[in-house]
């Protein structure tokens, strides 16, 4: 069952095309990762999905509610954890959470109970009466998440919730996300850390320059680069071309391309095949050099598909 549907969604600011033809179905109860480098369009995409901004064109539905005509209803069922901490530093955690609860019309004992429940959930019940300004970055992030959960949303959007925090807080956030999933809540999680996407997400979409360049489970995506990627480079263009032809015929070559004086190859098994390639280079007295060996991962996939690193 779909929780979020995006159909040919675009966003442009004058001539700046920030999101292009976003087609996406996110299922109920899944942890879905939006992975991409800075400026790829992750925040803009989730801002449209949460009805904070309108698409230039295209259709978005959340739990069958139309993203343009049902914005009020959508706000009641989505929780948003913004990238920047949105808390009152002089107020303590309880008062911060109460403030957000009141915005949703929650009052009295129900609000008190909900605040206590959330403080325990994020492991900060014992620090609840201290002003937020005394908290570490990780603690602030955890309260930021609690604030987004105050109205028991069906779907929670988390925009890079682990940037700049300590490993302990990060693990607590991961445990919390897994707990939310076990309660049937849908999570959309943006990150540029591929390890986080690998550890957490049921499926991921990799976004670059506003377009999805890969979509699937991490296992499916990583299998696109088989046993890894090898890069070779040489000064002599003729020799480089000769080796493209030679390696193309090898059964271990899954994909090969020439980019200037660089050969990029997807191979079956990087450790084994590099030895075979070195032997071929030696036998031919070649000056070609292996300049990079990348084991199969989302990072390797991204680099291979875009020529860019996920984190620059
Ligand atoms: N209101 C706006 N007006 C003009 N351009 C914008 C606006 N909002 C975002 N952009 C541009 O859209 C592009 C995508 O930004 P967005 O914040 O969605 O990327 P991101 O993937 O979330 O990046 P980051 O990881 O740095 O948060 C950027 O080039 C940004 O400058």
pLDDT 10s digits, 137-184: 999 999 999 999 999 999 999 999 998 888 888 998 999 999 999 999
Measured between alpha carbons, how far is 66 from 64 in angstroms, rounded to an integer? 6
Q: Which residues line ligand 1 (CB under 6 A)?
A: 13, 16, 18, 36, 38-44, 83, 192
Considering the domain architecture, whether residues 14 and 158 belong to the same structural domain is answered as yes
Measured between alpha carbons, how far is 115 from 229 in angstroms, rounded to an integer? 49
Considering the domain architecture, whether residues 167 and 273 belong to the same structural domain is answered as no
Q: Could you tell me the CATH number of the domain that includes residue 36? A: 3.40.50.300
ipTM of the complex: 0.96
At 18, list the tokens: 């920030």
Residues 80, 86 contacting (CB under 8 angstroms): no
User: Which band of pLDDT confidence, cut at 50, 70 and 90, is reported for residue 312?
Assistant: low
Q: Closest residue (by CA) to atom 7 of ligand 1?
A: 13
Considering the domain architecture, whether residues 156 and 280 belong to the same structural domain is answered as no
Considering the domain architecture, whether residues 14 and 41 belong to the same structural domain is answered as yes
Q: What is the dihedral of CA 47, 49, 55, 60, to 10 degrees?
A: 180
Query: Mean pLDDT across the stretch 65-91?
Result: 94
Rounded to the nearest integer, the mean pLDDT of the chain is 94
Considering the domain architecture, whether residues 38 and 184 belong to the same structural domain is answered as yes
Considering the domain architecture, whether residues 69 and 18 belong to the same structural domain is answered as yes
Residue from 9, 22, 37, 42 to probe ligand 1 pocket by mutation (most atoms less than 8 Å from CB): 42
Measured between alpha carbons, how far is 121 from 264 in angstroms, rounded to an integer? 47
User: Which band of pLDDT confidence, cut at 50, 70 and 90, is reported for residue 85?
Assistant: confident
pLDDT 10s digits, 171-188: 989 999 999 999 999 999
Considering the domain architecture, whether residues 160 and 21 belong to the same structural domain is answered as yes
Does residue 311 surpass a pLDDT of 70? Answer: no
Measured between alpha carbons, how far is 75 from 81 in angstroms, rounded to an integer? 13
The pLDDT score that the predictor gives to residue 164 is 84
Residues 156, 188 contacting (CB under 8 angstroms): yes
The pLDDT score that the predictor gives to residue 96 is 97
Give distance in angstroms: CA of 211 to centre of ligand 1.
13
Measured between alpha carbons, how far is 55 from 67 in angstroms, rounded to an integer? 9
Does residue 8 surpass a pLDDT of 90? Answer: yes
Measured between alpha carbons, how far is 80 from 160 in angstroms, rounded to an integer? 11
Does residue 281 surpass a pLDDT of 70? Answer: yes
Residue from 18, 20, 45 to probe ligand 1 pocket by mutation (most atoms less than 8 Å from CB): 18
Domain that holds residue 244: 226-295
Considering the domain architecture, whether residues 134 and 98 belong to the same structural domain is answered as yes
Distances (CA, A) of 278 to 17, 36, 104, 252: 44, 34, 64, 14
Kindly give the pairing relationship between strand 203-208 and strand 16-27: unpaired
Give distance in angstroms: CA of 40 to centre of ligand 1.
7
For residue 76, is it within any domain?
yes
Does residue 201 surpass a pLDDT of 90? Answer: yes
Give distance in angstroms: CA of 119 to centre of ligand 1.
32
pLDDT 10s digits, 205-254: 999 999 999 999 999 999 989 999 999 999 999 999 999 999 999 999 99
């Amino acid at each position: 069952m779909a929780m979020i549907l995006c159909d040919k969604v675009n966003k442009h600011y004058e001539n700046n095309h920030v999101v292009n033809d976003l087609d996406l179905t996110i299922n109920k109860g899944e942890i879905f990762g939006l992975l991409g480098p800075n400026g790829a369009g992750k925040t803009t995409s989730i801002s449209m999905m949460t009805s904070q901004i309108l698409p230039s064109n295209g259709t978005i539905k959340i739990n069958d509610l139309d993203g343009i005509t049902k914005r009020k209803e959508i706000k009641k069922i989505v929780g948003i954890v913004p990238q920047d901490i949105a808390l009152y530093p002089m107020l303590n955690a309880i008062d911060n959470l109460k403030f957000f609860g009141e915005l949703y019309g929650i009052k009295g004992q129900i609000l008190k109970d909900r605040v206590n429940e959330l403080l325990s959930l994020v492991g900060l019940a014992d620090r609840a009466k201290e002003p937020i300004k005394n908290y570490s970055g990780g603690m602030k992030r955890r309260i930021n998440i609690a604030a987004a959960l105050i109205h028991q949303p069906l779907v929670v959007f988390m925009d890079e919730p682990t940037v700049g925090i300590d490993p302990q807080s990060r693990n607590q956030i991961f445990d919390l996300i897994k707990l939310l999933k076990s309660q049937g809540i849908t999570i959309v999680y943006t990150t540029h850390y591929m390890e986080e996407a690998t550890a957490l997400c049921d499926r991921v979409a990799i976004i670059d320059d506003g377009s999805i360049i890969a979509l699937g489970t991490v296992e499916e995506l990583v299998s696109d680069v088989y046993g890894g990627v090898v890069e070779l480079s040489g000064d002599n263009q003729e020799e480089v071309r000769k080796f493209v032809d030679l390696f193309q015929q090898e059964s271990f070559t899954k994909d090969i391309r020439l980019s200037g004086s660089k050969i990029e190859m997807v191979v079956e098994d990087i450790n084994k095949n590099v030895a075979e390639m070195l032997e071929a280079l030696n036998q031919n007295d070649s000056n070609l050099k292996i300049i990079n060996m990348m084991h199969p991962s989302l990072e390797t996939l991204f680099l291979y598909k875009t020529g860019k690193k996920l984190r620059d």
